[in-house]
A = this chain, B = another copy of it.
Amino acid sequence: MIKEIKNKYGHLFEDELLEEINQVGTFKEIPEGFELIKPGSYIKSMPLIISGAIKVLREDNDGDELLLYFLEQGDTCAMTLSCCLGHHKSEIKAIAETDTKLVMIPIEKMEEWTTKYKSWRTFVFSSYHKRLVETIETIDSIAFLNMDDRLLKYLKDKTKISHAKIINTTHQQIAYDLHTSRVVISRLLKKLEKKSVVKLNRNNIEVLEM
């Protein structure tokens, strides 16, 4: 494990902290589609992402969903952080977007490391900042963009996250993520295909233009 942690987090943390992470952390490999966090649940450890990607969603009482942002290598989940520290319930849902490798850190270490390591404090604060900024950018999309531009941004984000031009998903799944209906997505995707921005197939979308 130590090699992968050093590789992804070596530039952020001092050796002593890396060693501690190696000792107390649990290495996990998560398959695509696995639900890491359920809304309303309590969280006992926080993830440091080594590789892959995690999709973070908001879910309301009626089961309506909305994609908030993706987490990648070097990221951690700010909601988990604050849930750990404040002992709050989870406000969100997290699902592995691709096969993902991560290290789980027990929450007891959080407070300890925050006192002990400046690099840890910087990491935690910068994670909060990134998440707050990304959440606000999500607000930008919903508030200021029409559905066609939101869809385009969604497709771009997906290709970026998976490092591939082809997105394996259904129109229904996109509709869930953007909180709209399947028919609307199909309609808009067809428009994009006519403009040669995408090529549509069953269960996948090829993004041609960026």
A residues bordering B, Cβ < 8 Å?
58, 60, 62, 64, 66, 68, 78-79, 81-82, 85-86, 88, 91-92, 114-115, 118, 121-122, 124-126, 128-129, 131-133, 135-136, 138-140, 142-144, 179
Count this chain's copies in the assembly: 2
Asked if A140 and B58 sit within 8 Å, CB to CB, the answer is yes
A124–B78 Cα distance when bound, in Å, is: 13
**What residues of B have a CB within 8 angstroms of the CB of A115 in the complex?**
115, 118, 121
Asked if A82 and B121 sit within 8 Å, CB to CB, the answer is no
A91–B138 Cα distance when bound, in Å, is: 13
List 16 A-B pairs, Cβ < 8 Å: A58-B140, A82-B125, A82-B128, A82-B129, A82-B132, A85-B129, A91-B133, A92-B136, A115-B115, A115-B118, A115-B121, A128-B128, A128-B132, A132-B132, A135-B139, A139-B142
